[in-house]
A and B are shown apart, each in its own frame.
Chain A
């Protein structure tokens, strides 16, 4: 399948990319979300501005906060010692995207701009309190991951804006994990759950929980988190958190004939427990 015709330009800086982008243009990083959409005519830009070779968008740095360039690939993030140390959940999620060939080219910025609800990284970013840094013709701004994901394939990103980096708070005293129930054919998440826990002795002092796959977007789950805080993550607390989780995601649930909403909701509770177990181990 050939995409519709378009003009192609390669930018060598963020500034030149922003200057080049037109009204119906799209930024191209790895193209592993955009090109499939273009082949299906779900996306029909008349211009692509290739940002994949802009060095400023490619780095991963860890200096207190973890900062990941928008055009860093999933493979780079999954293999990064800095990400593995600071935010294992994100490294795990990026390592579960597609397959190795896809991860070699697909980028975190492209992934979240596309905002596929069944993709893995958004769930980890929401649970771990990521901030999305965006630049446009009128300047730069930052949005919390929780507010960045608006609805099905819908984000806060406006036309002509570029995701320059994604940052994560210092989490050296947290324990986080991302686990998923993969679709047996596509490996997309039927349910994906990320947790970020701060333990004080045997007591959970802080918890963040997010769910994707089962929902139309990555959803932050305050009820489940509240049920964990103050507990020793004992069976009663896990059961209460799983029950609260189904309320947290109730308004956002999605399903299909093979994996209906009720099944995904039940599995979200199961995978919450697995995520907590993975984070604690």
Chain B
């Protein structure tokens, strides 16, 4: 079957098997390998992307379900060669250890702060419950997200 969608601002169209998962479509058909596969059971959040602005676990959606959707992956978060503030904050706070969960963490956090500027640490931790860091490096991740959340509230 044919699926067409917009990924990181670019229109794409491919012939795929109906059973193609969105994460495989992104990684294997489009060669956008920033989106990771961790648990493959919608628990760990390594595959988190934005589908029409909402966070989604790409391992638990079919490419067919995203037909016509507007998708953003970690590769599309930077604009005009400038990191997204969440990427910068993860860099500044060392919000990563091995880095495998990082694309999903950043995608989830970016959506959260967009919708919840000024979020508290508790709210950040609650929201990120679907993103698991197997290095257990949560403190710096939360610090990074809080930095962006505070800045977003200050600018509002």
The answer to the question of B86 belonging to the interface, with a C-beta cut-off of 8 Å to chain A, is: no
Docked-complex contact A101 and B21, CB < 8 angstroms: no
Pick from B42-50, B72-80, B92-100, B140-148 the stretch touching chain A.
B42-50
A221 / chain B contacts, CB cutoff of 8 Å: none
Q: Which of A2-10, A261-269, A273-281 is the contact stretch?
A: A2-10
- Interface residue? A181 (CB, 8 A): no
Contact residues of B between 97 and 118, Cβ < 8 Å to A: 108, 112
How many Å lie between the Cα of A7 and that of B64 in the bound state? 11
In the complex, the answer to whether A102 meets B57 with C-beta atoms within 8 Å is yes
Number of interface residues of B (CB under 8 A): 30
Instruction: Tell me the chain A residues, 4-48 only, with Cβ under 8 Å from chain B.
Output: 4-8, 10, 28, 31-32, 35-36, 39, 48
Contacts A/B (CB < 8 Å), 25 sampled = A2-B24, A5-B17, A5-B18, A28-B62, A31-B65, A32-B42, A35-B21, A35-B62, A36-B42, A39-B40, A39-B41, A48-B18, A99-B130, A99-B131, A100-B55, A100-B108, A100-B127, A101-B42, A101-B55, A101-B56, A102-B57, A102-B130, A104-B51, A104-B54, A186-B43
Write the A103-116 contact mask toward B (1 if CB under 8 angstroms, else 0): 01100000000000
Q: Which residues of A contact B60 (CB under 8 A)?
A: 31-32, 35-36, 102, 105
Chain A interface residue bracket vs B? 20 to 34
Question: With A and B bound together, what is the CA distance between A187 and B130 in angstroms?
Answer: 10
Of all A-B residue pairs in the complex, the 5 with the closest CB atoms, nearest first, are A99-B130, A8-B18, A101-B55, A104-B54, A101-B57
A4 contacts which of B19, B24, B127, B129 (Cβ < 8 Å)?
B19
Within B122-147, the residues touching A (CB, 8 Å) are 127, 129-131
Instruction: For A4, give the chain B residue with the smallest CB separation.
Output: B19
**Interface residue B61 (Cβ < 8 Å from any Cβ of A):** yes
User: Once the chains bind, are B129 and A99 in contact (CB under 8 Å)?
Assistant: yes
A6, B65: Cβ atoms under 8 Å?
no
CB of A50 within 8 A of CB of B45, answer no
| Complex-state Cα separation, A22 to B55, whole angstroms | 32
Across-interface contacts of A187 in B (CB, < 8 A)? 129
Chain A CB within 8 A of B156 CB: no
Query: Does A254 reach chain B (CB closer than 8 Å)?
Result: no
> Which residues from chain A sit less than 8 Å from chain B, CB to CB?
1-8, 10, 28, 31-32, 35-36, 39, 48, 50, 52, 75, 98-102, 104-105, 186-187
Residue in chain A with minimal CB distance to B127: A100
Q: Which residues of the partner chain B approach A31 to less than 8 Å between Cβ atoms? A: 60-62, 65
Chain B at the A interface: SS class: mixed
> How many residue pairs bridge A and B at CB < 8 Å?
74
Out of A48, A52, A102, name the residue touching B42 (CB < 8 Å). Answer: A102
Q: What 12 additional pairs, Cβ within 8 angstroms, besides A48-B62, A50-B65, A101-B55?
A: A2-B19, A3-B19, A8-B62, A8-B64, A32-B42, A36-B41, A36-B60, A48-B18, A75-B54, A99-B130, A101-B57, A104-B51
A-chain residues with CB within 8 Å of residue B19 when the two chains form the complex: 2-6
Within the complex, the shortest CB–CB distance from A77 to chain B, in Å, comes to 15
User: A98, B42: Cβ atoms under 8 Å?
Assistant: yes
- Contacting pair A100 B62 (CB below 8 A): no
Q: Which residues in B have their C-beta under 8 angstroms from that of A3? A: 19
Q: Is B48's CB under 8 angstroms from A101's CB?
A: yes
Nearest CB in chain A: distance from B47 CB, A: 9
What is the CB-to-nearest-CB distance from A189 to chain B, in angstroms, rounded to a whole number? 15
Task: Point out the residues of chain A lying under 8 angstroms from B48, CB to CB.
Answer: 101
A36 neighbours in B (Cβ, 8 Å):
41-42, 60
Chain A residues with CB under 8 Å of B18's CB are: 5-8, 48
Selected from A6, A7, A48, A105, the residue in CB contact (under 8 A) with B56 is: A105
- Kindly state the separation between the CA atoms of A31 and B60 in the bound complex, as whole angstroms: 7
Shortest CB-to-CB span from B88 to chain A, Å, is 23
The minimal Cβ–Cβ distance linking A175 to chain B, given in whole angstroms, is 25
Nearest B residue to A99 via CB reads B130
In the complex, chain B residues whose CB is within 8 Å of the CB of A105: 56, 60-61
* Alpha-carbon separation in the docked complex, A104 to B58 (Å): 12
A8 to B54 alpha-carbon distance, docked (Å)? 24
